[in-house]
Amino acid sequence: MNSALKASIRALPERTIYAITASVALAGTTIAIGVVAIAHVQLGAVVSYALLPLGVALVVWVVVAVARLRVVGHLPREAEGLIPTRLQPWIRSWLLIRFGLLGSVLLLSLGAVAMAVVHGPLTSVVQAFVCVVWFRIFLDLILGAAFNAGVIYSRR
């Protein structure tokens, strides 16, 4: 599936990819730190509030993935023809957001190291890190299920 997703993003110039993912990384980091600072969320609350939606998304993803395997089988390396044209812009957006959130994780990791070095408040950075990681997992599950459903629908 990853090769099929990467094939859809090749239509964008590299400068655009870097600019968008850097913007998403900065925005994701800022939003995560802002949410943690404003809402004063606890790490346990982040995990407990995210467990039910994540569990539902995981079940949906597994069901749709198994259905895709039964209908289509494994996707070949060059699966550009299997991706419906209506899904391609959404897949490109999904990949750019994924790469951007990975950049957010990197920035928050560097922030945690910097806070540890200067003996600053480390908990808010760690909480923001957990929020970004949970959001990325949730986004991958939901959009991965949508991708598989789109492939199934296009084959019928």
Q: What is the pLDDT of residues 52-77, one digit of tens each?
A: 888 999 999 999 999 988 887 777 66
The encoded tokens of residue 107 equal 């920035």
pTM score over 0.85: no
Q: What's residue 41's pLDDT?
A: 75
Range of the domain at 139: 2-155
Q: How many domains does the chain have?
A: 1
Specify the residue for token string 């209506």: 86
In total, the chain counts a number of residues equal to: 156
Residue 30 pLDDT class (50, 70, 90 cuts): very high
Residue 81 pLDDT class (50, 70, 90 cuts): low
